[in-house]
Structure formats: C-alpha cells, structure tokens
Amino acid sequence: MAADFCLVMGQINLVVGDVAGNVKKVIAAAEQARDELNADLVVFPELTLTGYPPEDLLLRPGLIKRVEKGLVSLKSKIKGVAVLVGHPSGVVRADLYNAASLIADGQCLASYFKHHLPNYSVFDEKRYFVEGKEPCVVDYKGIRFGITICEDIWFAGPSVQAVDVGAEIILNLNASPFSQGKWQLRETQVKQRAIETNVPIVYVNQVGGQDELVFDGCSFALSNTGEKVVRAPAWQQGLFPVLISRNENQTLSIQGELATKETELAMIYQGLVCGLQDYVEKNHFASVVIGLSGGIDSALTLALAVDALGADRVKTVMMPSRYTAQMSLDDAQQMADILGVAHSVVAIDSLFEQFVDTLSEQFAGKPADTTEENIQARVRGVILMAISNKTGAMVLSTGNKSEMAVGYSTLYGDMAGGFSPLKDVYKTLVYQLSHYRNSLSEIIPQRIITRPPSAELAPDQIDQDSLPPYEILDELLERYIGDDWSFEELVAAGREAEMVARVIRMVDRNEYKRRQAAPGIRITSRAFGRDRRYPITSGYTVTSTIE
C-alpha cells in the first residue's frame, strides 16, 4: 500500500519503574519499525518510559532524573525515524506533568502536557500531576499532528483545541486497562471525537500486566468519519502500521489492517493469562504451585497457569482430608495428567488431628464448628507456603470473587498465596471460562464442571448449604458491589428481603479479609482493592434507616 507517511503504533509491554529497560524497548522497536516497515514515526503508549501506573514512584525525584537521562538517550541513539513517547516531566510534588514528547533527529520537536487527569476507579493522577492547558500541534514531514494523552480523548476540548490550531490528525497515547466491554466503549468514544473534529485519530494503547491491572492493547485508528480503518490484535506486542496519504483536496486519509476482534469470553481468558504471566515474569518467579482440590476454581487456575507459563513451570499438590471424595482425588490427578504437570498428594489428616489434640484443652466443652473446618484449610496453606519457601515457587490462590465477596474463604488458609488469578471472576463466570477453555481443547474433566461445588471441609458439604445459588448470589453481588444498588433497590428488583440483607451483611463484614488477600487480576469495572475502597471499621449499614 503506497502512502506518503508511515506511522506505526508501538503496542509494547512495559515494566513499571524500569526506565532503562523501557528505553531499550523503545529504541529496539523504533529501529525495527524503521528497518522493516520504513516507518516515519512510531507512537508509543502513555508514560512509556516509566510504565503505567508508576504510582508513588512518581514522588521520588530519582525516578524523574532517570527519565531525563532516558530522553537524552533516545535523542542520541534513535536515527532515521521519529518517536512519540510518554513520560513524566517537571518537578516532583510541584509542577510534574504527564507528558508526551516527539523526538526526531536528535531533538525534542514538541512536548504536550495532559489536560484531563483521571482521579476515579484505579486512577490517582491528581495525586501526582498538574493539568496542562495548551494544545500541542507539531509539523513533521509536512503533516500537522495534534498530540493528546489518554483521558483527553474522552472530552471534546483537547482534540477541538488541537484542530483549531491546525491539527490534521490526532495522536492519542494511552494506558487504558482492560475491563469487560472496555474496548467497545473506547471505540465508541473515539469515534465521537473523530466525527466532531473531522480528522483521523490514532489511538495507541499498551499491552501487558501490572500488578492487578492488565492492558489489552487493541490500538486502533479511525478515519475522519469515525470508521475503524486499523486495529491491532488484543494481548499482543507488536508494531502496527497506519499509512497516511494526502488526498487531492489536501485532507488526510489512512489505511491499514483490521485485526479480528475476539469474543468477550476470549478477551477475559486471555487477559487472565496475560496478567498471570506478567506478574510471574516481572517479579522473577521461576514457577508456581497450586493446591489442586478437584474443584472447578483450582482447575481453571491450573489451566490459566499452564497456558501462561507452560506445564514445566507449574506444580500441583492435592491435600486430601477424611472429607475429600475419591472423585476429587481422581479428577485432580486426571487433569494434572492431561496437562503434564508435576503432581503430588500430601494427606493432611494426621496434621489436622495434631492441631485438634494440641488445642483440646482450649476447645474443651465447645462443639465442633467452622473452627475445625478452617484448621484444615490452614494446614493446607502451611503446606503450600512451605513448598513455596523451599522451592521458590509462588503459591497461586484459587478463590473467586463470589467467595471473596461473602467471606467464603479462610484467612491464612485457602487465601494464602502470592497472586490470585480469579480474584475478580464471579463463580458463574468461572463456569463460562471453563467451558470456553475446553472448547479450545478439553483439559478440564467434565465431572469437575458438572458436580456441585464443595469446600469438602465437613461431611456431605456443598456450597449451596450456606450460600444462595451462585446465579442468584452473583446477580446480587454485581448490583451491590459493581453498581452500588441499595437494599431497597435489590428487594424491589424481586429478591427476597431476608436473603438480600444476609448477603449484604456478609459482604460488609468481610472487608477485613479482603484487605489481607493476595493481589489479583482486575477484569471488571469494580474490583476489590483499587476500585472499591471501603473502611473495615464502619457503622454504616445499608439496611438501617434514620428515624
């Protein structure tokens, strides 16, 4: 495809705080784009040099000094191609900006300071940055580029300002984390900006995992009428050309390739794989260990781990008690065999009995209750953490969001671990994702999916003995946690008042557990932790009224 100008979307995976490493990635990507794609300009994501989000690293003057050195390095080492990179600029705790700079031929041709600083959900940019005010339009090789950053594209002002001072095309650098349906929302929003300004827009997003957040990439370019012309694939690093031509009427047109869009379930599954892989890799763990129970949560966690890391870096341990069904042992072994992971069995009955005997004087006169159930879970936690300490393998916690919400988990027991891949995945979605993974290749035994879920900590125990059916529970949780519905609204929607009140009480009183849980991958717009910040000690109850 002939064109006047080759712009390349640099959809890369960055490491927060590793300025030197990120600079090397930019240089390598720029050189590859120049040599293989004949690129004129490579556009990289928001805060390219620090990675996103750097959080309180931005309060360290030493980080900004490294960024300044990194910019000098880019000027001196990149030849024959221009780059647009994101970086912090200015003085820590005074006049620090979220900036983007166009570097070409050893010079910084222009710098833009982000206008709109998000300060909601997982974003805290007003804690670190001050707002820019001025538009930035730079003429490079005869094309007038307007530069904006991430949140700016959600408002009309920055793009309109840029066009008013001569921009022919808008470049938007992003660090937009994934959540369900987010890619559709982005494209709808940017389409509105393109139609308003009547100029093409190039939207470049990063890819990869950073603690709880995952970034799906999905960079794209729209024509001046809002038509999707170029789209990069999800969850893949790469260099994706946007070819720009000047028409007879002197306006710009763009062309390129449209990657196939994944289904929502595929996006979620791949996001969980990406988040787990990057957490392990970027924190330099050699392997992971999973307590495999024969249940669906640990089965899905195992599938994710093998897809993320390979079977040779995953170990599973089955820790049966007197309450563990034989089919749990058989199904766990079968799945481990299918995937080819190292699997061992460590019985816990003798350890459990020693705990109970040791505590017999303390427990005298008191009937058995959930205390004994929790001891079993904590024995398993001790075993897994001991294996982790001895081998260096990180423990993956296997709990899901439904359990985390209502406290159906044991602190220092099944909650033990360094990372929790399913932390933001409701139980009903666990089933959907398991079916999705089996549609690719059947690795989860069908009986694991179809049998009633059970913690197997007491005789004939199933989850539904103490919880509403998961399809009802998850509906209540999504509305209460995700949408902030009140008790009255939930009851008005058709749910029984006593059940609603009970679920709400469980959610509220288990905040202390969630505060101590391992980090996990955010896939919804309201995850526990960064998104939903509630006090542990609180006199507020949603079922109480003022008289």
Q: What are the φ/ψ torsions at residue 117 (nearest 5 degrees)?
A: -105, 110
Is residue 150 part of the annotated active site? The answer reads yes
Which of the residues 6, 46, 212, 401 is marked catalytic?
Answer: 46
Is residue 261 part of the annotated active site? The answer reads no
Smallest CA-to-CA distance from 422 within 543, 278, 271, 314 is with 271
Q: What are the φ/ψ torsions at residue 505 (nearest 5 degrees)?
A: -60, -40
Residues 426 and 400: beta-carbon distance below 8 Å: yes
Chain centre distance of CA 341? 26
Residues 335 and 443: beta-carbon distance below 8 Å: yes
| Residues 6+ away with beta carbon under 8 Å from 156 | 193, 196
Residues 290 and 316: beta-carbon distance below 8 Å: yes
Residues 303 and 421: beta-carbon distance below 8 Å: no
Is residue 114 part of the annotated active site? The answer reads yes
Residues 176 and 182: beta-carbon distance below 8 Å: yes
Which of the residues 114, 282, 315, 401 is marked catalytic?
Answer: 114
Amino acid residing at 473 = L
CA atoms within 13 A on the CB side of 111: 14
H or E segment at 402? helix 401-406
> Please, which residues bridge with residue 266 across strands?
none
The residue to which tokens 């960079």 are assigned = 219
Q: Convert 181-217 to b/e letters by CB count within 10 Å (16 or more is b).
A: ebbeebbeebbebbeebebbbbbbbbbbbbbbbbbbb
Residues 132 and 113: beta-carbon distance below 8 Å: yes
Smallest CA-to-CA distance from 425 within 294, 285, 301 is with 301
> Please, which residues bridge with residue 8 across strands?
42, 241
Which of the residues 25, 125, 136, 150 is marked catalytic?
Answer: 150
> Which residues have a catalytic role annotated?
46, 114, 150
